[in-house]
Amino acid sequence: MPASIDNNLPGSELSIGADTALNVIVDAMDKIKESGIASKRCFVVETMGKNCGYLALMSGLAAGAERIYLNEEGISLEDLVADTKWLRDSFAHGRRLFLAVRNEKASDNYTTDFLARVMEEESHGLYDVRTAVLGHMQQGGSPSPFDRLMATRFAYRALNLIDDELAAGTDGSSFIGIKEGHIRSGAMSAMPSLVDATHRRPRDQWWLDLRSVVRTVSDELRS
């Protein structure tokens, strides 16, 4: 049964715990944004997720972030030059709040603190910059109703699979996941083919298609 807040397990579009963590992150981002309403401020928020940017992308979309940095895309110097120019120009034309979200492993060298320092240095007094590393608070909290219901569905399917194995006198092993809203199972022998072992995440990450939404929104904000 897939259980990880990072949502980085193969064989399932969602894992138990990811929705709860996402709710915690978005709630924290909403509060962070509220704290900056009275001033001209840029926030750089770091989420967990290891090499999987699910939490960063989904929370950034939900919280209305202007920029999201993912491990899957990395960060380049050209990115930072363009982003800081966009940031400075937008505040010069009346912006009062900017939210950037960074997956904790988006880059080894372009850290959350480094991004904030670059943005602050290039602000020319138009805004100030604050960082928020949410840390292990993302692993706490009561499970969301969605996670509770999904875990119950997984457990029910798992018990049925065990019952089938016992009835047949076999000892096969299976993984369980959710795909397009339905609970699916597969043989554990197929699991290695689904894994990007180098980055410890699934080869197929459905949510990456949502990057186009982020780009579209960002382009609208830039124009």
Summarised one tens digit per residue, pLDDT across range 175-221 is 999 999 999 999 999 999 999 999 999 999 999 999 988 878 776 66
The answer on pLDDT for 44 being more than 90 is: yes
Q: Among 5, 7, 2, 3, which Cα is nearest to 201's?
A: 7
Q: Is the dihedral of CA 219, 127, 134, 78 positive or negative?
A: positive
Contact 101/47 with Cβ under 8 angstroms? yes
Tell me if 154 is assigned to some domain. Answer: yes
Q: Which positions ≥6 away from 112 have C-beta within 8 Å?
A: 44, 46, 102, 131, 133
Helix (H, G, I), strand (E, B) or coil at 58: helix
Q: Are residues 137 and 62 in the same domain?
A: yes
Residue 206: beta bridge partners?
none
Tell me if 4 is assigned to some domain. Answer: no
Q: How far apart are CA 117 and CA 122, in angstroms?
A: 9
Q: Are residues 53 and 116 in the same domain?
A: yes
Q: Are residues 127 and 41 in the same domain?
A: yes
Q: How far apart are CA 184 and CA 176, in angstroms?
A: 6
Domain hosting 150: range is 145-202
Summarised one tens digit per residue, pLDDT across range 82-139 is 999 999 999 999 999 999 999 999 999 999 999 999 999 999 999 999 999 999 899 9
Q: Among 55, 25, 68, which Cα is nearest to 217's?
A: 68
The answer on pLDDT for 53 being more than 90 is: yes
